Amino acid sequence: MFEGKESSWEGLWWHPEYNGFSSAVIDISELRKFKGKIRIWMRKNKYYNDGENGRPNYNFIIRDARADSSRLLKVMEADSIYRDRDGNRLYTENEVRKIICGTVSDVEYGIHDPYDILASDFVDPYESE
């Protein structure tokens, strides 16, 4: 049990370039103060207003979980996915080739409008080669 503790609310921002959400950087040393089982609560930000002034789409909080069952979250190595200073995913040369070839093929065959194509249509944004 968290001993009745909870984190502060944090935002989740939409990133269309990889079709997902991310939070601000979280200092893991703060989370080490918690003990036992936790649950992540998320809600739509009622003050979002189309992201005006950098407002997040959603907010989340980490709280004590009083439940009989739990899931084990596995911590995996992520060093094979390269990111820039802002957290944007960088692609390898082979991944870029897959994206270009897939884009050309899909546009030629009328599968996609060239302005609706995302890199994630051809390369999983969470996996590296």
In a structure prediction context, what are the per-residue pLDDT tens digits for the chain, which is 129 residues long?
Answer: 345 678 888 999 988 887 889 998 888 888 887 777 788 889 998 888 888 888 899 999 888 776 555 566 666 555 567 777 777 778 888 888 888 888 888 888 877 676 777 888 888 766 665
Beta bridge partners of 58: 12, 44
- pTM of the predicted structure, to 2 decimals: 0.49
Q: What is the CA radius of gyration of the chain?
A: 19
Q: 22-44 burial, b for 16+ CB within 10 Å, e for fewer? A: eeeeeeeeeeeebeeebeeeeee
Please report the pLDDT score of residue 58 as a whole number.
Answer: 92
Q: What are phi and psi of 101, to 5 degrees?
A: -65, -40
Please report the pLDDT score of residue 2 as a whole number.
Answer: 41
